[in-house]
Amino acid sequence: MISDGRPILDACCGSRMFWFDKDNPLVDFMDIRDEECTLSDGQLCIVHPNIIGDFTRMPFPDKSFRLVVFDPPHLVWAGKAANFYKRFGCLNRDWKTELAMGFSECFRVLDDYGVLVFKWAETQLKLKTVLSLTTEKPLFGHKRGHTFWICFMKTPKP
């Protein structure tokens, strides 16, 4: 698939919880699944990406986006009936390779000087461990509870 020219990618959008405008026309909302499920409290979890794709092999040319948001699953184990699993999914057994490929793909599809916003919930894996899976260095970040928001910029390599 060729990028349709939207400048922003949400690489694993889930139910788009953090977006003020969940149908923002500037954004390609991607996820590996397209489904609806019911949580234990009866709430619906609706995941309808406009692109079904895998963040380890993104269907976009190099340098397609100015901003990429990367909020991958942060669990390496979870019961399949748990709300957390239904809402946020789970990493593979080989989560190091999965996340390393995810970072690499985020930086590949970012244009030079584009911004990557990475979100991580430090429940099962430490942020430090996860950041060691990319050679890119974060600029700054913010922590609230267990959740970090980290900002990178893709700087051209000489």
Residues that bind ligand SAM (CB under 6 A): 12-18, 31-33, 47, 54-56, 71-73, 88-89
The residues pairing with 68 across neighbouring beta strands, listed in sequence order, are 9, 116
User: Whose Cβ is closer to ligand SAM: residue 112's or residue 151's?
Assistant: 151
User: Whose Cβ is closer to ligand SAM: residue 47's or residue 68's?
Assistant: 47
Helix, strand counts (H, E) of the chain: 3, 9
What token pair was written down for 108?
């590949």
| Smallest distance, ligand SAM to C-beta of residue 157, A | 25
Element (DSSP H or E) covering residue 146? none
Q: DSSP states of 5-18 as a string?
A: S-SEEETT-TT-TT
User: Whose Cβ is closer to ligand SAM: residue 35's or residue 112's?
Assistant: 35
Whole-number Å distance between alpha carbons of 91 and 95: 6
User: Whose Cβ is closer to ligand SAM: residue 81's or residue 158's?
Assistant: 81
| Smallest distance, ligand SAM to C-beta of residue 69, A | 7
What token pair was written down for 126?
């430490």
| Smallest distance, ligand SAM to C-beta of residue 140, A | 20
| Smallest distance, ligand SAM to C-beta of residue 51, A | 10
